[in-house]
Amino acid sequence: MNHCMNCGVWVEHLTCPLCHRKVANPTFTTEVKWYPDYHSLKQKKGNSFVSRLVIFVSIVIVSTCLLINIFVTPDFLWVFYVAATVLYLLVTSNHTINSSAHTGAKIFGQVISLSGLLIVVDVLSGFRRWSVNFVVPFLIITATLLITIIILKKRMRWQEYVGFIVALIVLGFLPVGLYITGIATILWPCAITTLYALLTLLGMLLFSDKTFKEELVRRFHI
């Protein structure tokens, strides 16, 4: 044990951790090692750099296109096509591919972002309503089916997907809402989506005994 005259304490090192001075006349020259060496510790390089790079590149593309659009063809704002596509690719890159998010969250994210992209494209090209009549309902059905398959496959860890299946079941009622409000004009795809959501809910309640109901109680406890 060495004595630091400056701080008045005994130290188990050659440098005092309090004043950072070398201990005068150390009696022990071999340090007691209480902690690992951190020099060899590799700094964990997360995905943050790639994510930030993708965001920066996206901003560069959109802002450049905006400038060109304003100066070259101010009557036709095609920049929104670019912006919506870039935004979708940004979500796909930073959330779906380049993140450790839950698979359920990735599927849900894709439904929302792809729906958003296609609605924008539809609106910009005259809003013939193909996005709200067909794309959104069938995207929701596809995602619900996908998560149902995952739940059936993952017998041990299916509870992790309950939140997402519930969210998609709730989302399954959205197309009918769009029809009622007049945004969507064709009923049958909207009705199929809602029926599919209801049947999924019913199937979960019937075939999972008490576990699904119990999981719902947990998820919605107040």
Q: Does 60 bind other proteins (CB under 8 A)?
A: no
From the list 20, 45, 153, 155, which residue makes contact with other proteins (rule: CB under 8 A)?
Answer: 20
Q: Does 21 bind other proteins (CB under 8 A)?
A: no
Q: Does 16 bind other proteins (CB under 8 A)?
A: yes
User: How far is Cα 50 from Cα 108, in angstroms, rounded to an integer?
Assistant: 22
Q: Does 222 bind other proteins (CB under 8 A)?
A: yes
Q: Does 33 bind other proteins (CB under 8 A)?
A: yes
For the CB of residue 42, give the shortest distance to other proteins in the complex, in Å: 10
Q: Determine how many CB atoms are found less than 10 A away from the CB of residue 113.
A: 19
User: How far is Cα 25 from Cα 5, in angstroms, rounded to an integer?
Assistant: 10
List the interface residues with other proteins, window 122-181 (CB under 8 A). 159-160, 163
Tokens at residue 10, please? 């005994």
Q: Does 29 bind other proteins (CB under 8 A)?
A: no
> Which residues, 6 or more positions from 41, have their beta carbon under 8 angstroms from its beta carbon?
none
> Cα-Cα-Cα-Cα dihedral of 82, 83, 89, 91, to 10°?
-170
Part in contact with other proteins (CB under 8 A); list of ranges 29-37, 91-99, 179-187, 198-206: 29-37
| Residues β-bridged to residue 15 | 22
Q: Does 8 bind other proteins (CB under 8 A)?
A: yes
- Contact yes or no for 212/165 (Cβ under 8 A): no
Interface with other proteins (CB under 8 A):
1, 4, 7-20, 31-36, 38, 41, 43, 100, 159-160, 163, 210-211, 214, 218-222
